[in-house]
Chains A and B, each alone.
Chain A
Amino acid sequence: MTANRTADGEPSAIQVIDLCKNFGSVEVLKGVSLDARKGDVVAIIGGSGSGKSTLLRCTNFLETPTSGKIIVDGEEVAMRADGRPANRRQIERIRSRLGMVFQSFNLWTHRTLLENVIEVPVHVLGMHRDAATARAFDLLDRVGLRDKADTYPAYLSGGQQQRAAIARALAVDPTVMLFDEPTSALDPELVGDVLRVIRDLAQEGRTMLLVTHEMKFAREVASHVLYLSEGRIEEQGPPEQLFANPRSERLQQFLQTVH
């Protein structure tokens, strides 16, 4: 797992150990582990129903893991014996350090882009409004939306909304960014701008977990790739090796179908 890692020697930003998740009698995750060090970009790929989104959503407890351990920035999240989080405040604190970007953007439609970006810093993290606003303008500038700061999300394209959602996630200065298929809901011509923003973040050393269908992009930005199949890690490694020389038959088939 450590071969060719870009960030060897760095401490772990997020560790998932032997994570299992059942929905009723269906086992969606059957013991998945991953370790993202600071600066790592871990791409999670796999077919539909492979459990990749569930894995991502378990890391910030949007789904409650059935068993396993999650350690964020050295802090283990307390779980009860039945697998439910024991401490709501701890979960909330940890969530506020994991900036999540959703497939369907999920911006707050009754707030302008600026209000969306300052919402969490001001109301969850207790940041001063002026400081949060100044920072929000910088972030909107980075994603190319400074002039749209006072616009409501409904008047923007999907690509613009997703870039605003990335600015919202960046506003909490997250330890790890979680991307849940950030370009899957976008028209093809809008994908490029969003990927460009994510690529910039990867290059400046943001730690990320990235669930994606964009294989070329994963190959380009990821430092490590996990291929999930039927709730297990079927194969993993550095992108060059995984995409150029897939060992497992399933991954070979998967890569043929998506290319």
Chain B
Amino acid sequence: MDALVEFFGLADSLKLLSLSPPGWGSNLLRGLLHSLQIAFGAFGLGLIIGLFGACGKLYGGPVLRDLLAIYTTVIRAVPELVLILILYYAGSDLINKAAEAMGYDRVEINGVIAGIWVLGLVQGAYATEVLRGAIQAVPPGQIEAARAFGMPPLLLMRRVTVPAMMSFATPGLANLWLIATKDTALLAIVGFNELTLETRQAASSTRAYFTFFLAAGALYLMVTLGSGVVFGWIEKWSRRGQPSLREGRR
């Protein structure tokens, strides 16, 4: 190990990346933690919005369906960076105007919460379509059987539709989660200290751009690899009861 470090002349880089000052490693990890918090929150919020959106589009009345069509179309039409700028500045402006109108002081918008809302709204639009497709792929007979045995709508959703659609939804949802982890980098533009902004600050302070951005890239890659393992489990679980498409395997 030491020989490798010496051979590649990595000693300086390691010093820069160490967790205790003057190293910037803890800043990077703090940024990663913020990124993951936002990604988790946004993905979760997106799932909730997506489930309601999919059900609304499939089972709702004409007004609700139109509203949801506008939501998914607009969100998916506008570049995410623009949406983040609009939602972040317009959103905090609105909240402050409302606060002032009600006689409160201007409030400082919490970056994590704002990030979760902004990315969650974006994720919700995509999740709506992923889940809508997955629900439609559930064999109608399984839902009909549940109705024929007197299952009320919410129980039917929880016990039959959601578990049966999981195997169809998992690949699309895994995509959305990975997009969520990387979209957090866009929040750098509104000055939120997630991994990308922390990296840029560390890099510009030390002029070690290559070292820090490579390190950040490695962190993003590790998140992706870990997510792959977790989604592999989820997919295996959600496909229980379905024979493998490969011959000779179960």
Contacts and interface: CB of A to CB of B under 8 A. Distances in A.
B240 A110 contact: yes
B204 interface: no
Interface in A24-52: none
A111 B241 contact: yes
Given A106-B142, A108-B164, A110-B163, A124 B242 contact: no
Contacts of A124: 149-151, 155
B212 to A, nearest CB: 46
Given A106-B142, A109-B241, A154-B243, A60 B151 contact: no
Contacts of B139: 106, 109
Interface string A207-222: 0000000000000000
B236 interface: no
24 contacts: A62-B147, A88-B152, A92-B150, A92-B152, A93-B150, A95-B149, A95-B150, A96-B149, A98-B148, A100-B149, A106-B145, A108-B146, A108-B160, A109-B241, A110-B164, A110-B240, A119-B159, A123-B155, A124-B155, A152-B242, A154-B241, A154-B242, A154-B243, A172-B149
B248 interface: no
B155 A152 contact: no
Given A100-B148, A110-B164, A154-B241, 9 more contacts: A89-B152, A98-B148, A106-B139, A106-B145, A110-B163, A110-B241, A119-B159, A120-B150, A124-B150
Contacts of A108: 142, 145-146, 160, 164
A123 B145 contact: no
Interface in A69-112: 88-89, 91-100, 102, 104-112
Contacts of B240: 110, 152
Nearest to B152: A92
Contacts of B144: 62, 102, 106
Interface in A214-249: none
Most A CB atoms within 10 A — which of B149, B166, B241?
B149
Contact of B159 (A98, A123, A152): A123
B148 A60 contact: yes
B103 interface: no
A153 interface: yes
B9 interface: no
Nearest to B158: A123
Interface in A103-153: 104-112, 119-120, 123-124, 152-153
Interface residues of A, number: 33
B62 interface: no
B151 A109 contact: no
A169 B239 CA distance: 25
A188 B130 CA distance: 40
A226 to B, nearest CB: 21
Interface string B119-140: 0000000000000000000010
B141 interface: yes
A109 B149 contact: no
A24 B164 CA distance: 31
A23 interface: no
Nearest to B243: A154
Contacts of A95: 147-150
A95 B153 CA distance: 13
Nearest to B159: A123
Given A94-B150, A124-B149, A106 B243 contact: no
A153 to B, nearest CB: 7
Contacts of B241: 109-112, 152-154
The 10 closest A-B pairs by CB, nearest first: A152-B241, A96-B150, A95-B150, A106-B141, A106-B145, A92-B150, A100-B148, A120-B149, A110-B163, A110-B241
Contacts of B238: 110
Nearest to B148: A100
Contacts of B151: 92, 120, 123-124
Interface string B29-47: 0000000000000000000
